[in-house]
Structure 1
Amino acid sequence: MKSRLLLILTVGVILFTSCNRTKKDADSDKGSATIYHSGDIITMEGDSPEYAEAVVQQNGKIVFVGSKDKAEKSYKGAEEFDLEGATMMPGFIEPHAHPVSIGAFILGNEIVAPHEWSMPYKTYQAATNHEEYISGLKKIVEENKEKDYVLAWGYHQAWHGPLTKEDLNAVSSTIPILIFHRSGHEYYLNDAAMRKFNVDVSKFENQDQMDAKNNHFWERGFQELRAGYLTPAVYGDKERLTLGMERMSEMMLQNGITAMMEPSFPNTEFHSEYNLLKAECERFPYYTMYLVPGFPEQFTLKKNNEEMHAYVQKMSEYNTDNIEFLTNQYKTFSDGAIYSLALQLKDGFANCPHCHAEWIMPPDMHKEVFDFFWDKGYKLHIHVTGDKGLQAALDILDKSMKRTPRENHQTTMHHLGLFDEAQAQQMKELGVEASVNSYYLWALGNKYGEIGFGKERAARIAGMKWLTDRSIPMSLHSDFAMAPAEPLTLAWVAATRMTDNGQVLRPDLKITVWDAMKAITIDAAHTFSKGDEIGSIKRAKFATFTIIDKNPFKIEPMEIKDIKVKGIVYKGKFKENG
C-alpha cells in the first residue's frame, strides 16, 4: 500500500513539475513575443480588405491574428509595438528583379535616361533628346575621368535618336565608355572601350545580333560580350558592385520590399554574383532573396539540358538564412526586349524604320529547352514582351500540355508588354499565370504611340484587367531597373493607367486597388510558389510586414504613389526607414 501511495505521489510530483516547467517555458516564450496594434492591420487574406486589431509574432513567425484584448491576455509580458495610427500590411514583394547583374551594376555606376531617376543617394535628371543625352554623358565622363572606364545606363533610341561609335568617340577618344541600354539587353562601346576589353567581333557566334561598325551588341550578342570580354573587368569590379549592392538594400528598405525573386540567376557568372549578394545579405539581413536558375547561364556555360538540370539541383547547397534557390523552377525566354523595340509583334512596328524584332530564344530552341524542364516537373517562368512573342510561348505550352498534361503547373508569363483579350482567354484555358511590369504603360505609353506601336496598341500596353477579369493569378514587378523598385508605384500605375505626361490611357483597363495591392503581396508570393510562407498576415507565416503612413484602401487611387514607407518588420525584426 505504501509502495503504491509512494508511486502515486512520485508520478504526481513529476506531472506537477512537468506542467510547471511547460508553463514557465511558455511564459518565457510569450515574453519574447511582440504585439502589433493601434493601426490599420490589413491581412490581405480573403477576397476583400480584412482587418485585424492585433498581430503577435514570436521567434519570427506569426502566432496570433485577432483582437488586442485576447492578444494581451494570451501573451502576457509581450513587447508591444504601437503602430500609432499607421497601416501595417504583409511585407511588399518584388517577384522579378535583378539585384546584382542589373540593379547593383547600375547603382554602382551612372544614369542618363529619358525619365528622372530618384535614388536614395542621388537624383538623376531626365535627358529627353539627343542633345541632352550627349551633354549628360559628357558631364559624367568628365566627373569620372580618373576611373578605368565610365559606364552609363539609360540610353533609348526613341528619345535619344541613333547612337553611333562616332558619337561616343567624340565624347572621348581615350576614356573607355560603355553605354548600357535602357532595356538592359544591349551595349554600345566607344573604340577606347573596345581596345581596353580586347573585344574581337570576328569571334562572336551571334553575328546577326551585333553591329560591328558601331560597336553595338544586343540579345545573344550582348550575352556573349557581357559573359565573355566584360566579365573580369566590369562584372568583376567588386568595388563598384559592392557600392551598388549597399544602395540596393537602401532602396529596398525605402520602398518597403522584404522579399525579392530573381529569375535567371545568375546573369553573368555564378560565384561573383552570389558572393556579392551573400555578403550584402549578411551586412543587411532584412530581406529574403529567392533565386531561380535560367537560360542565360545555360547559354554562357554551354551546358546541354541534362547537364543544366544536374547543375540546378545542386544549387540549394548555397542557401543561407536570407538566400534560397528555388531548384524546381526555371526561366526561359521568348522575344526581345520591349525597351529595345526588339519585341515580336503580330502586326509589326509602326513608324519605326530602325526597329528590329528579335528572338532571345528562337521558338525551336525555346521549345527544346521548355519541353525538357516541363517533363522534369519544373515550374516555368517565361520572358515575353510582344503579342507574337507571347503567342509563340503559348503555342509551345499548348503542345506540351497535350503531350504531357500537368495540373497546376503555374507556368508564368513575365512582363506582358503587349497582348490582347483573346490571348488572355487562352492563358486562362491553359492554366497560365502572369507577372506584369505595369510601369511599361507609364514610361512607354505615350512615346510608343508615336514610335513603335501606334496609338491604339500603345494605349493597351499591359492590359492587366483582361487578366484579373479572368481570375488569372497576377503579380506586379519592376524587373529592376526596367522600372523603379517601388511596389506602390507599380500598384498606382495599375489602378490608374497614368502615363508620364499625366494622361490616362485606356481607363477601362484599370484594375481595382484590391487587385493591385494583392499583386505586390500575396499574389507576388504566389508567383514563385511561396504564398504559404509570406504575402499575407496569417498564423504560421513569417512575421514580415511593411508599415506605411496611409491605408491604400482609404484614399483615392491617384494618391497611392505618395504613400510613405515608415519601416519594415523582417521575421520579427523592425527596421525603420531613414
Structure 2
Amino acid sequence: MKETIYINGDVVTVDDNNPEAEAIVVRNGKIIYVGDNSGAMAFKNDKTEVVDLGGKTLLPGFVDGHSHYFMAANTVNFASVAAPPVGTVETIDDIISVLKVDIEAGDYKTGDIVVGWGYDESLLKEGRVPTNKELDKVSTEHPIYIAHASGHKGVANSAFLKKFDINEDSVDPEGGHIGRYPGTKTPNGTLEEQAMMPIMMKLFSSPDQSRLVNNLKAVDKLYAGSGITTAQDGGWMPPSLQLARMADEQGLLKIDVVGYPFVESKDTFGLIDENEIGSYKGHIKMGGAKLILDGSPQAKTAWLSKPYHVAPPGEDETYRGYPFHENDQDVVEVVEECLKRNIQLLTHTNGDQASEQLIACYEKAQKNTGITDDFRPVMIHAQTVRDDQLDRMAQLKMIPSFFQCHTFFWGDWHLDSVLGPERGARISPVCSAIERGITYTLHQDTPVIPPNMIFTLWTAVNRKTRSGRTIGEEQKITVMEAIKGITINGAYQYFEEDTKGTITVGKRADMVVLDKNPVKVAPDDIKDIKVLETIKDGEIIFKA
C-alpha cells in the first residue's frame, strides 16, 4: 500500500462543495482526504511519504478537450515551418531554408517524401501562400509537402503533385479544393481539405512503427509537462489504434488517452465497437466517433453563413468556404447511427454554417429516431457559433469545446482578414455559453499548437491577440471558469466526472503542481506560471 500526504499547499480543488484546502492524502492512487494539515497528518504512519508543497499550488490534472495525440507523434520528425512563438519561420525563403537543412541533416533516400508542418501565410512577411514552384527550389527529386498550421490545407512541390497524380485534369473532390494558377487549370501546389486529407491518411497509415513508438515518449512527456493527465486522439485511423495499444502494452503511455475513430458516413463505423466504448484498457479508451463538417477559419476553408471579410486568392467576394458534406442527409444518417448505438459523437465545426448543419441534423435525427438520451455530443472548435445556435445547443445538451487560443494565435488575422471586426470579436464565445448554462471545454488542437494549458487559461481570461489588442471584451471569463474548462468539464465530456476533474475524496489522484496560483496572480501573469510536477494516479509522471 502506497500512501502520500501533501501538506502546506495552496490547493484549488475545483470542487464547489470544498473549494480550498492546504493538504490532501493519497492512498493507492486515490484521494482519501482533503482538508487541513493536522487532519492530513493524522493519517501518517511509518510507511507514509510526506510531501511539503511549501505553498505551491495543487490543482486537478488537466483534461484535454480535444487534440490529435497520435498525429502529434507523427509530426515529431517533420520539419518545423511554423512562425514564432512555435517556430522561427517569417518568410517563404525561411521555409525553403528550413526544408533544405532538414533534407541535408536527415536520412533521406532519393524520392523519399519530405514533410514540413505549421506554415501560416497570415504570419509570413509576403502575406501569401508559397507555390509549388517555390518549393521546387528545395528539391525536384523529393516530393515535398508543407502542412498549414491548421492541418486543413497545405502546399506541394511539383514532384509531390506528380507522385499523387494531381494535374490539369484533376477535379475538386467534394469538400476539397485544388489551387490553380490564375486563368489556367495548372495546379499551383495548394491542396485544401479533402483534396489533401486522403493523401495525408496514406502517409500516416504507413509509418515507421519503431520511430513512432519513440516519438510517443516525447509526446507523452510534452503533454504531461503541460499538466495534462487525460488527452484526446480526435480522429483515430487503424494505424493509430494499433499504435496506441502497442505503446500502452509497452508501458510508454503515462497519461490516459481517449480516442475517437473518424467516420464519414453511416457505412464507415468499422473501427467502432460499442462494447469497447467507455472502458479503459490500460491507458487507452475508445470514446465514440469523430465527424468533420468543414475546415478552418485561419485557412479560410471553414463554412460560413456570410462571406469572408477578405476572400482568399482566386475566390470572389461571395466566398463563404465550403462543407465536407453537401447533402445534409449524410450527416443525419451518421447522427442516427450514433443515437441508435449509444455512441458519443464529436463533430468538427468551425464556421457557423457548419455549426448550423450539425445542430439541424442532430435535431432531425432525434426526431426521426425518437431517441433523446444524453450522449453528450460535442461540437469541436465552435469558433463562430452564434447565440441563436447556442440556445439550441443548450436544448440538445451539446457541449462546445472551444479552441480558445485562436484569440491569440489568429485573433488579428480574424479581425483584419477572415471575419472582420464584428464577427471576429466573437470567436470562441465561451461567456455566451456560460450565460446559457452550457457545459463547455477548452483545448489546443495539438499538433496545431503545443498543448499548453496554462496559455489557454491566459487566453480565456485576457483574450489578447498577438499585437496586444483585446478581442471581444464581453467574452472574457473568470479564471475559475477557465480552470473548470480544462478540469471538471473535460472529465464530464468523457463521462468521467465521478473519477476525475476535481480534488475530491474518492477520485483518482490526477493532479498538477504549479509554482503560482492562477486564481491569485494578476490576469496577465497567468501565462508565466510554470508546471512543476504532474501526478497520475498518485505517481509523479513529470517533474520540472
Q: Same fold (TM over 0.5)?
A: yes
Q: 1:576 to 1:170 in 2, by over 3 A?
A: closer
Of 1, 4, 27 in structure 2, the residue corresponding to residue 58 of structure 1 is 27
Of 276, 281, 285 in structure 2, the residue corresponding to residue 320 of structure 1 is 281
Of 319, 341, 346 in structure 1, the residue corresponding to residue 305 of structure 2 is 346
Aligned to 1:12: none
Does the CA contact (< 8 Å) of 2:74 and 2:212 recur in 1? yes
Structure 1 residue 208: Cα displacement:
6.9
> 1 CA distance for matches of 2:240 and 2:306?
42
Report the RMSD for the aligned CA atoms in angstroms: 2.7
Of 145, 153, 174 in structure 1, the residue corresponding to residue 117 of structure 2 is 153
Determine helix, strand or coil for the equivalent of 2:347.
Answer: strand
Q: 1:165 to 1:522 in 2, by over 3 A?
A: same
Is there any run of 5+ residues in structure 2 with no aligned partner, and where?
Answer: 179-185
Of 550, 554, 561 in structure 1, the residue corresponding to residue 527 of structure 2 is 561
Of 390, 394, 400 in structure 2, the residue corresponding to residue 424 of structure 1 is 390
Determine helix, strand or coil for the equivalent of 1:151.
Answer: strand
Aligned to 2:323: 359
Of 157, 172, 193 in structure 1, the residue corresponding to residue 160 of structure 2 is 193
1:332 equivalent in alignment to 2:299? no
Does the CA contact (< 8 Å) of 1:264 and 1:294 recur in 2? yes
Does the CA contact (< 8 Å) of 2:175 and 2:322 recur in 1? no
Structure 1 residue 282: Cα displacement:
3.6
Aligned to 2:236: 265
Q: 1:336 to 1:472 in 2, by over 3 A?
A: same
Q: Deviations over 1:420-465 (max 9, x none)?
A: 2222222223322211000111111101222221122222211211
Q: Deviations over 1:251-299 (max 9, x none)?
A: 1122111110222223xxx14553256426744442111112231xxx4
Structure 1 residue 339: Cα displacement:
3.1
> 1 CA distance for matches of 2:277 and 2:460?
35
* Between 343-352 and 159-168, the greater mean CA deviation after superposition: 159-168
Of 157, 161, 175 in structure 1, the residue corresponding to residue 142 of structure 2 is 175
Determine helix, strand or coil for the equivalent of 1:264.
Answer: strand
Structure 1 residue 125: Cα displacement:
1.3
Does the CA contact (< 8 Å) of 1:253 and 1:577 recur in 2? no
Structure 1 residue 67: Cα displacement:
2.9
For 2:40, the aligned partner's letter is A
For 1:241, the aligned partner's letter is L
- Map residues 505-516 of structure 1 onto 2, 5 A cutoff: 505-516=471-482
Q: 1:231 to 1:416 in 2, by over 3 A?
A: closer
- Map residues 197-216 of structure 1 onto 2, 5 A cutoff: 199=165, 206=173, 209-211=176-178, 213-216=187-190
1:376 equivalent in alignment to 2:341? yes
Structure 1 residue 501: Cα displacement:
1.3
Larger radius of gyration: 1
Q: 1:256 to 1:460 in 2, by over 3 A?
A: same
Aligned to 1:520: 486
Q: 1:153 to 1:114 in 2, by over 3 A?
A: same
1:294 equivalent in alignment to 2:287? no
Q: 1:388 to 1:145 in 2, by over 3 A?
A: same
Q: 1:449 to 1:131 in 2, by over 3 A?
A: farther
Determine helix, strand or coil for the equivalent of 2:42.
Answer: helix
> 2 CA distance for matches of 1:572 and 1:109?
34
1:225 equivalent in alignment to 2:205? no
- Map residues 463-502 of structure 1 onto 2, 5 A cutoff: 463-502=429-468
User: Aligned pairs, how many?
Assistant: 523
Higher helix share: 1
* % identical aligned pairs: 25
Determine helix, strand or coil for the equivalent of 2:63.
Answer: strand
Q: 1:281 to 1:157 in 2, by over 3 A?
A: farther
* Between 73-82 and 236-245, the greater mean CA deviation after superposition: 236-245
Aligned to 1:166: 133
Determine helix, strand or coil for the equivalent of 1:451.
Answer: helix
Of 68, 76, 80 in structure 1, the residue corresponding to residue 37 of structure 2 is 68
Aligned to 1:125: 88
* Between 467-476 and 206-215, the greater mean CA deviation after superposition: 206-215
Aligned to 1:16: none
Determine helix, strand or coil for the equivalent of 2:355.
Answer: helix
For 2:12, the aligned partner's letter is I
Does the CA contact (< 8 Å) of 1:116 and 1:126 recur in 2? no
Structure 1 residue 512: Cα displacement:
0.7
Structure 1 residue 186: Cα displacement:
2.6
What TM-score, normalized by structure 2, do the two folds share? 0.88
Does the CA contact (< 8 Å) of 2:384 and 2:426 recur in 1? yes
Aligned to 2:63: 93
* Between 412-421 and 276-285, the greater mean CA deviation after superposition: 276-285
Structure 1 residue 499: Cα displacement:
0.9
* Between 567-576 and 401-410, the greater mean CA deviation after superposition: 401-410
Aligned to 2:351: 386
Aligned to 1:19: none
Does the CA contact (< 8 Å) of 1:241 and 1:276 recur in 2? no
Structure 1 residue 525: Cα displacement:
1.1
Structure 1 residue 72: Cα displacement:
2.4
> 1 CA distance for matches of 2:235 and 2:240?
15
Determine helix, strand or coil for the equivalent of 1:188.
Answer: strand
1:530 equivalent in alignment to 2:489? no
Q: 1:546 to 1:348 in 2, by over 3 A?
A: same
Is there any run of 5+ residues in structure 1 with no aligned partner, and where?
Answer: 1-28, 118-123
Structure 1 residue 164: Cα displacement:
2.1
